Amino acid sequence: MRVSFTKMHGLGNDFVVLDARAQDLPALDKARAAAIADRNTGIGCDQLIVLEPSDTADFRMRIYNHDGGEVGACGNATRAVALLHGSEARIETSGGLLVASPTAGGASVDMGEPRFDWDAIPLEYPMDTFSMPVSWEMLADPGAVNVGNPHVIFFVEDTDAVPLDRLGPEIENDSLFPERVNVNVATVENRGRIRLRVWERGAGLTRACGTGACATAVHAIRRKLVDSPVTVALPGGELEIAWQPGGSIRMTGPATESFRGSFEWDDFA
């Protein structure tokens, strides 16, 4: 059967969006999700996004990483599907309910409240997630935050000097993180700006990570290194993140529809 899709991105973090409300999509398993996301033999994307009907929100958004694994949150994709929706959208995800409002060329999203308890990240055993007594070579004293998905955040002098292509997968797959983890390396440039690179769980180095920007901004605000709102500068561009302790995170930034197309479902078994 032919399946229609919309190719989108948020600051270069790219998505294939399948709308299961407009077509009868067969069940999607890990192998097929990875085959569609494959940049050599598939359509190619960092994450595959499936929109479904919801009893509790305007629609449900399901998120599959490049490796085919289903996860709970995707900040950049949330802005992208809000752009598609065209008006304020309440979005059900397995990481919680999100509320997104389109802006000129993008969207502003209430990403919900961050969680900090060790078993909410989750970690393998109890630990202070504000200042974790662990290190990997030059990366030390991280924090951990769950923003619908798990993030570990390291502050460094120069993000570009970190061999993230080597240390990222090592940390992502460390047994300390039973659900694996997204790895953020950040440089605080001033009280209003953070530079960030992310090794994404299940996707590797991406041009941008919305939940990574949220988690990093929250951790920097907790450590009193920056004020709120703060600009987070990723390789693909900038996001504005606002958060006060006890409240929810607001992420604002661009989203882009690249093109629309279709493919033969059975081509990706």
Least distance from ligand LBFN2T5F to the Cβ atom of residue 256, Å: 14
Q: What angle do CA 77, 56, 37 make, to 5 degrees?
A: 30
Question: According to the binding rule CB under 6 A, does residue 71 interact with ligand LBFN2T5F?
Answer: yes
Alpha carbons 171 and 169: distance in angstroms, whole number: 5
To the question of whether residue 201 is assigned a binding role by annotation, the answer is yes
Q: What tokens does 42 get?
A: 């598939």
**Among 8, 17, 63, 74, the one annotated catalytic:** 74
Contact, 242 vs 229, CB < 8 A? yes
Cα 259–10–154 angle (5° rounding)?
150
The single residue among 42, 68, 142, 210 that binds ligand LBFN2T5F, judged by CB under 6 A, is: 210
Q: Are 112 and 97 in contact (CB under 8 A)?
A: yes
209 catalytic? Reply is yes
- 137 neighbors 211 (Cβ within 8 angstroms): no
Residue 129 annotated as binding site: no
Indicate if 214 belongs to the active site: no
3-state secondary structure of 43: coil
> In the bound complex, what is the minimum distance in angstroms from residue 158's beta carbon to ligand LBFN2T5F?
23
In the window 236-255, what residues touch ligand LBFN2T5F (CB under 6 A)?
A: none
The structure tokens 């493919």 sit at: 263
> Does the protein bind ligand LBFN2T5F through residue 216 (CB under 6 A)?
no
* Contact footprint for ligand LBFN2T5F (CB under 6 A): 13, 46-47, 65, 71, 73-76, 149, 182, 200-203, 206, 209-211
Catalytic residues: 74, 209
Binding residues for substrate: 13, 47, 65, 75-76, 149, 182, 200-201, 210-211
